[in-house]
Amino acid sequence: MLLTYYFWIKAVKSGSIMWSASCALAYFYMVSSWGGYVFLINLIPLHVLALMFTGHFSHRVYVAYSTVYILGTILSMQIPFVGFQPVQSSEHMLAFGTFGLCQLFSFIEYVKSKLTKTQFDTLFSFALVTVGFAAAGAGVVLWASGKIAPWTGRFYALLDPSYAKNHIPIIASVSEHQPTAWSSFFFDFELLVFMFPVGIYYCFKELTDANIFIIMYGMTSIYFAGVMVRLMLVLAPVMCVLSGIGISSVLTTYMRNLDVNQLKKSVTSTAQSSTRARRNDDSSSYPRKNEIAFGVVCMMTFFLMTYVFHCTWVTSEAYSSPSIVLSARSGDGSRYIFDDFREAYWWLRYNTDEDAKVMSWWDYGYQITAMANRTILVDNNTWNNTHISRVGQAMSSTEDKAYEIMRELDVDYVLVIFGGLIGYSSDDINKFLWMVRIGGSTEKGAHIKESDYFTPQGEFRVDKSGSPTLLNCLMYKLSYYRFGETYTEQDKPPGYDRTRSVEIGNKNFELEKLEEAYTTEHWLVRI
């Protein structure tokens, strides 16, 4: 993405076809790696439109955009996932429209240069009436007849954040798709959050083609990063760029006022008329220019140093631990490792048939495929919403109903994550409501209603006052099987769930259709 933007800026600045072709190649690489290429193919036309509106449209921009669009489009259609979307879906229409507009603009400029004003006006109005209406008519017909597809699910959810929550629960359930809290902005960026507006201010002061691009990139990406946490990664590079512009502009402005020689001279010699004259000059703009400049430079240096400390701390604490091996500090300060995930996957790998099928929630699909080497039903890349919904229905139904679904799907093993023994909060019972929502979102699961799993007061409880539907569903039974006899904490009754901090309601039941195959050391993974 950054390579594409770099080549684009180079192409706009130089107007050379080589940079534009390189931009198209970098764009091709971007399309082959991430669906976020839609952001690029909309930001670049937006930039061209902004240049047109501000009067910066020049031959360079025409050459750059036309080449990038044509080469980029045909290259992107080589990727099977994209296929013919660039000419059929609404997400790509802005780029197409801007391309047409570019050609028109340039042609009009060319004709204008050959004629006088009055002649050009007559010709222009004539052309507008004939050609303009025909083109507009064709466009409306195409859109109304549905040949151009409207904005689809996950991108529409960016423009209307409430859309996913109401219509597509599986998109809404991903924790990375939630709106961003301001604290995560500060956690990831610290000082840059404050220098970002400063950078934008300095970009506005000097509006070149490239600065307009950076401003647009910054504004659009900060909006999208606010809508979805995952898009912070799109914001991060432009945050760094704009903050860099801000910091360097501030430092340059104040460094200019800094005169170290004058500081020394005013300390050593006080009676010389030259320094007195110079001091008089200073007080004409504002007093103590030197001291203020020195203060500001020191302050910026201090900010930059704390920023470095903050970044290294954040990376070591939050972004360096593997999520498959958990660790905690025990009472005496030493580190205690929970390796249950790998234990369970290795058990699966060596103690089950090679063609055994495992049913679990889609979060663990990739891990089971890679480490246990067994077939799974759903994983992170499953686009078949109905299939995932079927798994959700199996988890939310009673054991008999779930057994029918599992027979239909030809399942041999069921894997659940249970954190009640050690207090792990990302387990399947905490994710359970999403399973219910997704399970109830398709036809076959219409009998599954989220409200059935809550208490009459509307709470989600697993203790005695929990809803009977919840206390008898498959997920509950598989998580809490034999848990009723287990002691977890001192002074607490057996069956005390440390994650939900309650004693469970349904203990001492037997499983009729399934049997327990394996439970890991800390009961994290149960098969």
Partner 1 sequence: MSQVGQVVGILRKLNGEYQSSTPKKLKLIDAYLVYVLLTGIVQFAYCLLVGTFPFNSFLSGFISTVGCFVLAASLRIQLNKANQSVFNVSPERAFADFVFAHIILHLVVVNFIG
Binding site for partner 1 (CB under 8 A): 14-18, 20-21, 24-25, 58-60, 62-63, 66-67, 70-71, 73-75, 77-78, 84, 87, 106, 111, 114-115, 119, 122-123, 126
Q: Which tokens hold the place of 122?
A: 């007559």
Angstrom distance (rounded) from CA 63 to CA 176:
39
Q: Which C-beta is closer to partner 1: that of 148 or that of 227? A: 148
| Cβ atoms of 67 and 48 closer than 8 Å | no
The strand pairing partners of 329, in sequence order, are 335
Q: Which C-beta is closer to partner 1: that of 94 or that of 168? A: 94
Radius of gyration of the chain (CA): 31
Cβ-proximal residues to 12 (8 Å cutoff; 6+ apart), any chain: 60, 61, 64, 209, 210, 213
Q: Which C-beta is closer to partner 1: that of 29 or that of 346? A: 29
Q: Please, what is the minimum distance in Å from the beta carbon of residue 123 to partner 1?
A: 5
Q: Which tokens hold the place of 117?
A: 């004003």
| 3-state percent breakdown (helix, strand, coil) of the chain, nearest 5 | 65, 5, 30
| Cβ atoms of 30 and 200 closer than 8 Å | no
Q: Which C-beta is closer to partner 1: that of 71 or that of 405? A: 71
**Distance between terminal CA atoms of the chain?**
42
Among candidate residues 478, 475, 472, 474, the one with its CA nearest the CA of residue 505: 472
Q: Please, what is the minimum distance in Å from the beta carbon of residue 407 to partner 1?
A: 42
Q: Which C-beta is closer to partner 1: that of 133 or that of 346? A: 133
Q: Can you give the three-state secondary structure of 318-373, one letter per residue?
A: HCCCCCCCEEEECCCCCEEEECHHHHHHHHHHHHCCCCCEEECCHHHHHHHHHHHC
Q: Which C-beta is closer to partner 1: that of 11 or that of 405? A: 11
Q: Which C-beta is closer to partner 1: that of 66 or that of 385? A: 66
Tallying the residues shown for the chain, one arrives at 527
Q: Which C-beta is closer to partner 1: that of 22 or that of 479? A: 22
Query: CA 487 → CA 321, 336, 471, distances in Å?
Result: 30, 20, 20
Half-sphere exposure of 314 (CA within 13 A, CB side): 13
What's the longest Cα–Cα distance across the chain? Answer: 102
Q: Please, what is the minimum distance in Å from the beta carbon of residue 91 to partner 1?
A: 17
Query: CA 89 → CA 137, 146, 411, distances in Å?
Result: 19, 10, 38
Q: Please, what is the minimum distance in Å from the beta carbon of residue 65 to partner 1?
A: 10
Angstrom distance (rounded) from CA 384 to CA 406:
17
Q: Which C-beta is closer to partner 1: that of 111 or that of 292? A: 111
Q: Please, what is the minimum distance in Å from the beta carbon of residue 114 to partner 1?
A: 5
Q: Which C-beta is closer to partner 1: that of 24 or that of 238? A: 24
Q: Please, what is the minimum distance in Å from the beta carbon of residue 38 to partner 1?
A: 19
Q: Which tokens hold the place of 64?
A: 């750059």
Q: Which C-beta is closer to partner 1: that of 55 or that of 456? A: 55
Q: Please, what is the minimum distance in Å from the beta carbon of residue 90 to partner 1?
A: 18
Q: Which C-beta is closer to partner 1: that of 73 or that of 396? A: 73
Q: Please, what is the minimum distance in Å from the beta carbon of residue 4 to partner 1?
A: 15
Q: Can you give the three-state secondary structure of 367-406, one letter per residue?
A: HHHHHHCCEECCCCCCCCHHHHHHHHHHHHCEHHHHHHHH
Q: Please, what is the minimum distance in Å from the beta carbon of residue 43 to partner 1?
A: 21
**How many CB atoms neighbour CB 496 within 10 A?**
20
Residue at 511: amino acid letter: L
Q: Please, what is the minimum distance in Å from the beta carbon of residue 102 to partner 1?
A: 9
Angular region, 291: left φ>0, alpha ψ -120 to 50, beta rest: alpha
Q: Which C-beta is closer to partner 1: that of 113 or that of 162? A: 113
Q: Please, what is the minimum distance in Å from the beta carbon of residue 60 to partner 1?
A: 6
Q: Please, what is the minimum distance in Å from the beta carbon of residue 58 to partner 1?
A: 6
Sign of CA dihedral 232, 234, 240, 246: negative
Angstrom distance (rounded) from CA 429 to CA 453:
12
Q: Please, what is the minimum distance in Å from the beta carbon of residue 109 to partner 1?
A: 10
Angstrom distance (rounded) from CA 43 to CA 46:
5
- What residue spans of 452-515 are helical by DSSP H? 468-471, 474-480
